[in-house]
Amino acid sequence: MVDSTKTHAVLLSSPGLGHLTPVLELGKRLRTLNFKVTIFVVSSPTSAAESQVIESFMSLNLCEVILLPSPDISHVVDPDATVVTRLAVLMRETRPAFSSAISALSFPPTVLIVDLFGTDNLEVADEFKIPKFVYIATHAWFLALTLYLPVLHERVKGEYVDEKNALFIPGCKPLLPEDVVDPMLRRSDQQYLEYLNIGIEIPMADGVLVNTWEDLEPATLAALRDCKLWGDISMVPIFPVGPMVTPPGPIDSNKTEVFDWLEKQPIESVLYVSFGSGGLLSNEQMIELAYGLELSQQRFIWVVRPPAEKKSSDGSFFTVGNSSNAKEGPASYLPEGFLDRTKNVGFTVWDWAPQVEILRHQSVGGFLSHCGWNSTLESITNGVPLIAWPLYAEQRMNAALLAEELKIAVRPKTLPWKGIVGREEIQMMVKTLMVDKEGHAMRGRVKELKSSGETAWNDNGSSTKALAQFMY
């Protein structure tokens, strides 16, 4: 236990629920070690889900939460800049306000922890002469790629996606060119330079906390600790402190319908379908998904949103909903008669569902997911295998990790970002996961991972120890 009168952790979260949630969870964990914790959140003013999460977190009274107003970046970024560019610039432009806000704290901080997009703020720790850490809210393989990017930048001459061979990352699973993270898709895009900059800045920290655990990625973590493998890159100490996931909350008494329905379904028989806080499908893809689910004849819960207006690989959490003239309710967007024909096996939820609580229900046996890392961890920690349907950010890497390394997911052969995944392929994947032997084997493996994730947080578990040790 640390002395809370002497140890004050200041955390900085970038906008987006996928970034905010793991930072809040880290704050909670640090509180259990008796740290005083202040969390600065650069909020996206448009996200109702984010505001709700912040509000309910604040009501716990565990940590102080201070909202930093989003700086105006319209003069520094193109209006059609990608989410990664906007996030990186937004966090950089926040630095003066962040520094002043820290100066105004009555209890000076003793350690600074920023998330992936906050690395430009590491210098603020130097102003206050305190140690500084980066919190990677995804996995160690992603961290390894990010750290190695400055070397790939020199070695690979053309576009990464045009490479004939998988990209080498020291000691780690090689990365297929088609699975690179969004910022690596086009090198001339500003988001590539922003991401490269993050890779250069991370080693300036005193250490990196990462939302994984020893038994999930043993080889990658060993590689990250083997300085000999990394040549000129100065490696920093790595602390795997995962899985950090939102614990299930109480069920909202106005929204029990989905749980009443789940109660009536057999154990592990329902496929939960959702694409995270910002994922949208094209209209054509939604129609194929609907027919694929119908053809599979399996039970499902589908969180339906209006389709994307244009093909985009970005999340949409910077916008409110999808379109000003979006119609309300699934019926407007699904094939005619679909809701009627599937009424005995399917349940649709409009726009947003209590995901963590659904995934933990015993009737849920599969998750068709966009593979955001929070959703991925929520699935693993509830012992639910996946259909990996990546859309944006680092999700193709996540899907590769789940399908090829951990073998707990089925993945479409058609790359969702390149073409439309057809109804027959969807039907086949659903059946493989929910009915076939292969799916049973995946369920067995994910349950083992669930249990190893729990062990990591035991009194003597690897993540408990890593979190207790990171500052010493």
Q: For residues 46 and 99, which CB has a smaller minimum distance to ligand UDP in the complex?
A: 46
Taking alpha carbons only, the member of 183, 329, 363 closest to residue 260 is: 363
Give the H or E element holding residue 23: helix 17-32
115 is catalytic: yes
Cα–Cα distance measured from residue 86 to residue 190, given in angstroms and rounded to the nearest whole number:
10
Task: Name which of 217 and 394 has its Cβ closer to ligand UDP.
Answer: 394
| C-beta of 276 vs 412, nearer to ligand UDP | 276
Q: Binding string, 232-251, against ligand UDP, x = CB under 6 A?
A: --------------x-----
Least Å distance, CB 109 to ligand UDP, is 27
Q: Specify which residues 349 forms β-bridges with.
A: 303
Residues 275, 390: Cα–Cα separation, whole Å: 9
Task: Judge contact between 307 and 286, C-beta under 8 A.
Answer: yes
Q: Which of 194/378 has CB closer to ligand UDP?
A: 378
Binding mask 140-179 vs ligand UDP (x if CB under 6 A, - otherwise)? ----------------------------------------
Q: Exposed, middle or buried, 231 (CB in 10 Å: 0-12/13-18/19+)? A: exposed
In the numeric block, which tokens belong to residue 408? 């707990």
* Cβ closest to ligand UDP, residue 118 vs residue 278: 278
Smallest gap from residue 276 Cβ to ligand UDP (A) = 3
Which residue(s) pair with 300 in the sheet? 271, 346
Our CB check for ligand UDP shows the closer of 338 and 392 to be 392
**Rounded least distance, CB 137 to ligand UDP, Å:** 8
Shortest CB 158 distance to ligand UDP, Å = 29
DSSP conformation letters of 365-418: EEEEE---HHHHHHHHTTT--EEE---STTHHHHHHIIIIIS--EE--SS-TTT
Any contact of residue 373 with ligand UDP (CB under 6 A)?
Answer: yes
Q: Which of 3, 8, 19, 260 is catalytic?
A: 19
Task: Count the alpha carbons within 13 Å of 439 in the hemisphere toward its beta carbon.
Answer: 19
Instruction: Say whether 206 is catalytic.
Output: no
18 in contact with ligand UDP (CB under 6 A): yes
| The one among 182, 214, 268, 378 contacting ligand UDP by CB under 6 A | 378
Backbone angles phi, psi at 398, to 5 degrees: -60, -45
Q: How is residue 144 written in tokens? A: 């390894």
Residue 272 has, within 13 A of its CA and on its CB side, a CA count of: 35
The residue within the footprint of ligand UDP, chosen from 303, 308, 388, 456 (CB under 6 A), is 303
Site stretch for ligand UDP (CB under 6 A), options 139-147, 162-170, 353-361, 422-430: 353-361
Asked if 464 interacts with ligand UDP (CB under 6 A), we say: no
Contact 42, 14 (CB under 8 A): yes
Report long-range pairs for 219-224 (Cβ below 8 Å, ≥24 apart): 219/171, 219/172, 219/173, 220/139, 220/140, 220/141, 220/144, 220/171, 220/172, 220/173, 221/140, 222/171, 223/144, 223/170, 223/171, 223/172, 224/140, 224/143, 224/144, 224/147, 224/171
Number of residues that bind ligand UDP (CB under 6 A): 21
Q: Which of 8, 115, 139, 182 is catalytic?
A: 115
Site for ligand UDP in 19-78 (CB under 6 A): 21
CB 401 within 8 A of CB 428: no
Q: Contacts with ligand UDP in 256-285 (CB under 6 A)? A: 274, 276-279
Residue nearest to ligand UDP (CB): 18
User: Which residue, 356 or 421, is less far from ligand UDP as judged by CB?
Assistant: 356
372 binds ligand UDP (CB under 6 A): yes
Choose, by CB under 6 A, the member of 85, 94, 190, 375 that binds ligand UDP.
Answer: 375
Nearest distance, CB of residue 246 and ligand UDP, angstroms: 6
Please tell me the distance from the alpha carbon of residue 23 to that of residue 33, in angstroms, as a whole number.
Answer: 16
Q: Interface residues with ligand UDP (CB under 6 A)?
A: 16-18, 21, 246, 274, 276-279, 303, 315, 352-353, 355-356, 372-375, 378
Q: Would you please indicate which residues are annotated as catalytic (active-site) residues?
A: 19, 115
